[in-house]
A and B are shown apart, each in its own frame.
Chain A
Amino acid sequence: DAGITQSPRYKITETGRQVTLMCHQTWSHSYMFWYRQDLGHGLRLIYYSAAADITDKGEVPDGYVVSRSKTENFPLTLESATRSQTSVYFCASSEAGGIYTDTQYFGPGTRLTVL
């Protein structure tokens, strides 16, 4: 009954390092999303996935890589972290099947600081 979880909840890293943020959902939802939340910008979509092995760019994809080999996992990788990627990252999921079922359910977030 975990729902959607993210790990780690907090991460401090240095410029240039690779960082992977994990997202896991237990509902077998088809769609998964990564957002970043920054003051003055609200939430902005980084990448989303409609199913395993299907991913697409959102509004701000540069500097990020995603994969989805299993339906329940959707990791987000910062290949070479920059200070501008300091943010709070939210993962979300929703089930496919029609306009009445596309509520997005959000994880608790990961606060990432890049020094």
Chain B
Amino acid sequence: AQSVTQPDIHITVSEGASLELRCNYSYGATPYLFWYVQSPGQGLQLLLKYFSGDTLVQGIKGFEAEFKRSQSSFNLRKPSVHWSDAAEYFCAVGGESFQKLVFGTGTRLLVSP
């Protein structure tokens, strides 16, 4: 069965600094990988997804993620963080039935002035 690990519970980044959120997955076949963002009191919104092809995926709000099969990772990056990026970020992996996602426990991003 597939699983996802987000090793960082909290991350604090200064506004304007770069960001990388880590995600490691476990799945025997080619995974379907997703990053979702949850703003306070809101539902989850899809940032980007990877199914196949180019391993560098561009998403909304200036985010990108890179699939590295050798490291079983799908880390999320942003070159310059804005205060509005403060939220909780979830990595998810799809498996045998791609409609069923397994989510990581999330990383809460705090942005300092």
Residue of B nearest to A108 (CB): B43
Contact A40 to B105, CB < 8 A, known contacts A99-B51, A100-B51, A107-B43: yes
Known: A90-B43, A103-B46, A106-B45. A42 touches B103 (CB 8 A): yes
Q: Please, which residues of chain B bring their CB within 8 A of the CB of A102? A: 32, 94, 98-99
Q: Any chain B CB within 8 A of the CB of A34? A: no
The interface size of chain A toward B, counting residues with CB under 8 Å, comes to 26
Question: Which positions in B face A, CB cutoff 8 Å?
Answer: 6, 32, 34, 36, 41-46, 49, 51, 90, 92, 94, 98-106
Q: Do the beta carbons of B99 and A42 come within 8 Å of each other? A: no
Q: Are B98 and A99 in contact (CB under 8 A)?
A: yes
**How long is the Cα–Cα vector from A40 to B107 in the complex, in angstroms?**
10
Main secondary structure of the interface of B (DSSP, over half): strand
**A-B contacts at CB below 8 angstroms, number:** 55
Q: In the complex, which residues of chain B have a beta carbon less than 8 angstroms from the beta carbon of A31?
A: 99
Interface string of A66-102 (1 = CB under 8 A from B): 0000000000000000000000001010101001101
Interface residues, chain A, CB within 8 Å of chain B?
4, 31, 35, 40-45, 48, 50, 58, 90, 92, 94, 96, 99-100, 102-109
- Which of A40, A102, A105: most chain B CB closer than 10 A? A102
Check A104–B101 contact: CB distance below 8 A: yes
